[in-house]
């Protein structure tokens, strides 16, 4: 297996910690593999034996609906054995450290660790200390690589290409891990990215990432082919980043009225969970322009692809 020889047969890293530095040919390989996985998901019997004998732990220290369930489903569709860890109800409450928790689970003969954690850098920390393959399922405000890959898969299905594609990402840029992974992936693939949001939620050095910056949602709507609307992290609201949710909606909310002024129909993405009526109007989320549920479907296929490329026994690929 890949973890035995220390290297995936298909990707240059044996872990997926982020999209920063992942080359275009490897992103294309993951997306192409995900398309093949999607074909499996459309079959009457949605299961293949690819990861038989591989054991995966889903190590979730932070809440999740989409990522946790789609990793779990991806593992089941590939016939892996899986165990689920949630912080609540675990021995973390008794003071066990992150590393002790991970090492104890690994001692149960686990091959792959899928980890979500509120602190940036935890997947790298574990990858440096465990022998298992590590997949980042979202670490603080750092990266969420499989989310960006499923966003990119959805964009590629819609537009057929990335070169010159204009993607505006709207919302809380500072605290978003989704935006960082999307920037790395989209820029590598030749897309143009505009970040849109209030100055209080925009990092100062962001232009060095080769992106455009705007504080005007109408400018972004006029420029973009696709709009990726980020969840407004309501827990930050108390920290004085925003005057009020109502004002945020009036200034940056994506509404049908705003979209109607665009020179073309935009494709609308949202990583979820949505705050309807805050960053996105319900009518937009449920409109024909929205690909939000396609993103969720693609999430299973992308996670199958990543797990397979990183951990499938050699010879199956």
79 to each of 2, 48, 132, 308, how far by Cα in Å?
17, 6, 18, 11
**What is the DSSP pairing of strand 267-269 with strand 212-214?**
unpaired
Q: Is 273 exposed, middle or buried (0-12, 13-18, 19+ CB in 10 A)?
A: exposed
The CB-of-240 to ligand CP minimum distance in angstroms stands at 24
Q: Two tokens at 299?
A: 């999430």
Decide if residue 297 touches ligand CP (CB under 6 A): no
| The 133-139 sheet, strands edge to edge | 81-86, 55-60, 112-117, 133-139
Cβ-closest residue to ligand CP?
A: 67
Q: Which of 13, 28, 64, 237 binds ligand CP (CB under 6 A)?
A: 64
Interacting stretch for ligand CP, rule CB under 6 A, among 45-53, 91-99, 242-250, 267-275? 267-275
Q: Please report, in angstroms and rounded to a whole number, the separation of the first and last CA atoms in the chain.
A: 11
The CB-of-82 to ligand CP minimum distance in angstroms stands at 16
Q: Two tokens at 104?
A: 């104890």
CA–CA dist 240, 49 (Å, integer): 51
Q: At how many degrees (to 10) do helices 145-159 and 177-188 cross? A: 50
The residue among 77 and 303 lying less far from ligand CP, judged by its C-beta, is 303
DSSP letter assigned to residue 265: P
**Within a 10 A sphere around the Cβ of 314, how many other Cβ atoms?**
12
Q: Which of 66, 76, 212, 215 binds ligand CP (CB under 6 A)?
A: 66
Interacting stretch for ligand CP, rule CB under 6 A, among 46-54, 61-69, 245-253, 303-311? 61-69
Decide if residue 147 touches ligand CP (CB under 6 A): yes
Q: Which of 9, 121, 203, 272 binds ligand CP (CB under 6 A)?
A: 272
The CB-of-150 to ligand CP minimum distance in angstroms stands at 9
The residue among 15 and 270 lying less far from ligand CP, judged by its C-beta, is 270
Q: Two tokens at 230?
A: 């980020």
Decide if residue 154 touches ligand CP (CB under 6 A): no
Interacting stretch for ligand CP, rule CB under 6 A, among 91-99, 102-110, 156-164, 270-278? 270-278
Q: Which of 18, 123, 138, 185 binds ligand CP (CB under 6 A)?
A: 138
Where does this chain bind ligand CP (CB under 6 A)?
A: 64-67, 138, 147, 271-273
């Amino acid at each position: 297996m890949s973890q035995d020889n220390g290297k995936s047969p298909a990707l240059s890293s044996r872990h997926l910690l982020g999209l920063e530095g992942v080359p275009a040919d490897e992103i294309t390989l993951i997306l192409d593999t995900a398309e093949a996985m999607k074909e499996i998901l459309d079959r009457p019997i949605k299961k293949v034996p690819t990861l038989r004998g591989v054991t995966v732990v889903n190590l979730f220290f932070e809440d999740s609906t989409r990522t946790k369930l789609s990793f779990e489903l991806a593992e089941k569709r590939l016939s892996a054995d899986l165990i689920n860890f949630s912080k609540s109800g675990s021995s973390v409450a008794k003071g066990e450290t992150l590393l002790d928790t991970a090492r104890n689970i690994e001692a149960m003969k686990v091959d792959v660790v899928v980890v979500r954690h509120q602190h940036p850098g935890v997947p790298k920390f574990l990858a440096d200390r465990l022998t298992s393959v590590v997949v980042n399922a979202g670490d603080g405000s750092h990266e969420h690589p499989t989310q960006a890959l499923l966003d990119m898969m959805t964009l590629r299905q819609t537009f057929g290409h990335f070169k010159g594609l204009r993607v505006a990402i709207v919302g809380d840029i500072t605290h978003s891990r989704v935006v960082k992974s999307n920037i790395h992936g989209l820029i590598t693939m030749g897309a143009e990215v505009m970040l849109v949001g209030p100055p209080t939620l925009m990092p100062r050095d962001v232009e060095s990432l080769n992106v455009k910056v705007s504080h005007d949602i109408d400018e972004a709507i006029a420029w973009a082919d696709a709009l990726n609307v980020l969840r407004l992290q309501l827990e930050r609201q108390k920290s004085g980043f925003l005057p009020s949710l109502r004002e945020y909606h009036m200034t940056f909310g994506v509404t049908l009225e705003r979209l109607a002024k665009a020179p073309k129909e935009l494709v609308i993405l949202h990583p979820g969970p949505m705050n309807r009526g805050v960053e996105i109007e319900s009518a937009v989320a449920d409109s024909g322009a929205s690909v939000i549920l396609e993103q969720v479907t693609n999430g299973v296929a992308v996670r199958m692809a990543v797990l397979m490329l990183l951990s499938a026994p050699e010879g199956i690929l």
